[in-house]
Amino acid sequence: MDAFYAAIEQRDNPDLRAKPILVGGRGKRGVVTTASYEARPFGCRSAMPTAQALRLCPHAIVVPIRMHVYAQVSRQVRAILERFSPDIEPVSIDEAFVDLTNVPTWSTRGEAAAGEIMRQVKAETRVTCSVGLAPNKFLAKVASDMHKPDGLGVIPPEHAAPVLAPMPVSVIWGVGRVADAKLHSIGIETVGDLLAFDERELTRRFGDAAPHWRRLALGLDEREVHTEHASRSIGKERTFSDDISCPAQLRAILMDETEQAARLLRADGLLCRRIALKLRSPDFRTVSRSSVLPAPTNQTPELWSVAERLLSEFLAESPGPPIPLRLIGVRLEDLGEPAQQGLFDDQLRESRTRRVDAVSDAIAAKFGRAAIARAGSLKARAARPTGNAGRHSRDGHRP
């Protein structure tokens, strides 16, 4: 999707159209989640502190995150993709790989399919996407990025090497900021430079990563499109404007995060088998705690009981005053489809819990998540102590 969150905000608010907007938090530690295409020429980008982005583009408009709206549009896009192939690998809320290899009808493959996907997404969601068509995942991603926004890129296998050669070496998956700097220091700035460099020397300097980089530089990528749920997770985290040490306030914030993550889990029709906590102190030391659930579930009370226990155990580890935190987050992991339940397995308790969750989900879907909250999280809602209104992620989720 093209500048997904920003595009939706511009779609829903005529006053924001054709203007530079930043979707994210405004506080001292606010972070840009998405910068519109109008803001990008000024140097604004995602994951940048909002304050820095506003220095680069002072007239940019900061818009708060509306995750429930973005998730709804993401589900619309997923439904469109399923018309073309059952083999879909979601990468994030706004990106996915679609494998057309096993689609039997030639009329629904290739450029015709790619163009029709773009047309249907635009017609039904009123936001645009860019599509890359290629024989493997790496080249498809490159082709899509080359033709953003609202474009269709095609890289046939015989054109892969000449197309890649002049590109910066950072286009290769696995070449991050540190590796990019090291490669530049030895004269490797483009993909072509990488292929021309002595292969043994490259392996000596960079180890097992070097052969992988070279294969991608040649346009070779054997990775399949994975459609299983095993590696998926749903998370919610919040960075505070000011450090928080009050246990009651931390519990309230964690409960709010757990409720939001559980709501997304139920929307995807999945169950969670493991819950993990992420805690970060003012000196950026990050601590993780996790626990396997007694049984897979998507019910908020059961998830919350484990999350609260993990937080309590962390707080009890340090004698004296509570350790202040700058971030707290929860992640639901090891997700899977529901199995057939026993007829009398905790039937009464589960039915009451499910009814409460269902009513809560329906209200949030219709009026926004701020319209309803569990009593224990009201302090978090009232205080709004964050610079970033809350960061949400789904790894390989089903949109």
At which residue do the structure tokens 């246990």 appear? Answer: 247
Inter-residue long-range contacts of 8-15, CB under 8 Å, 24+ positions, other chains counted: 8/66, 8/69, 8/70, 8/73, 8/127, 9/63, 9/66, 10/36, 11/126, 11/127, 12/69
Q: Which amino acid is at 319?
A: P
Task: Clarify whether 317 is annotated catalytic.
Answer: no
Q: What is the dihedral of CA 234, 98, 361, 376, to 10 degrees?
A: 10
Task: Output 116 or 390, whichever has higher pLDDT.
Answer: 116
pLDDT tens digits, residue range 46-89? 989 999 999 999 999 999 999 889 999 999 999 999 988 888 99
Q: What's the token pair of residue 292?
A: 């396997």
Q: Assign 375 a pLDDT band (cuts: 50, 70, 90).
A: low
pLDDT tens digits, residue range 320-355? 788 899 999 999 988 887 654 444 444 444 555 666
pLDDT for residue 348: 42
pLDDT for residue 364: 65
Task: Output 195 or 47, whichever has higher pLDDT.
Answer: 195
Q: Assign 359 a pLDDT band (cuts: 50, 70, 90).
A: low
Task: Output 22 or 30, whichever has higher pLDDT.
Answer: 22
pLDDT for residue 352: 59
Task: Output 108 or 74, whichever has higher pLDDT.
Answer: 74
Q: Which amino acid is at 259?
A: E
Percentage of the chain beyond pLDDT 70 is: 82
Q: What's the token pair of residue 139?
A: 């080249």
pLDDT for residue 398: 40
Identify which of 5, 47, 20, 374 has the alpha carbon closest to the alpha carbon of residue 239. Answer: 47
CA distance 268 to 353: 18
Neighbours of 244 (CB within 10 A): 20
Q: Which of 9, 38, 82, 95 is catalytic?
A: 95
Rounded to an integer, the average pLDDT of 180-193 is 96
CA distance 255 to 182: 43
The three-class DSSP label of residue 62 is: strand
Q: Assign 391 a pLDDT band (cuts: 50, 70, 90).
A: low
Checking if the pLDDT of 268 tops 90, the result is no
Rounded to an integer, the average pLDDT of 97-110 is 73
Of 147-151, 235-239, 307-311, where does mean pLDDT reach its minimum?
A: 235-239
Checking if the pLDDT of 6 tops 80, the result is yes
Of 111-115, 350-354, 379-383, where does mean pLDDT reach its minimum?
A: 379-383
pLDDT tens digits, residue range 281-319? 888 788 889 998 988 999 999 999 999 999 999 998 877
E strands within the chain?
Answer: 21-24, 32-35, 61-63, 88-92, 95-98, 131-133, 152-154, 233-244, 271-280, 286-297, 325-336, 391-395
pTM more than 0.85: no
CB of 171 within 8 A of CB of 142?
yes
Q: Assign 383 a pLDDT band (cuts: 50, 70, 90).
A: very low
Rounded to an integer, the average pLDDT of 203-226 is 91
Rounded to an integer, the average pLDDT of 252-269 is 90
pLDDT for residue 276: 93
pLDDT tens digits, residue range 118-147? 999 999 999 999 999 999 999 999 999 999
Q: What's the token pair of residue 356?
A: 């409460």
294 Cβ contact list (under 8 Å, min separation 6): none
Checking if the pLDDT of 109 tops 70, the result is no
Of 97-101, 270-274, 283-287, where does mean pLDDT reach its minimum?
A: 283-287
Q: Assign 367 a pLDDT band (cuts: 50, 70, 90).
A: low
pLDDT for residue 102: 75
CA distance 217 to 221: 10
pLDDT for residue 225: 87
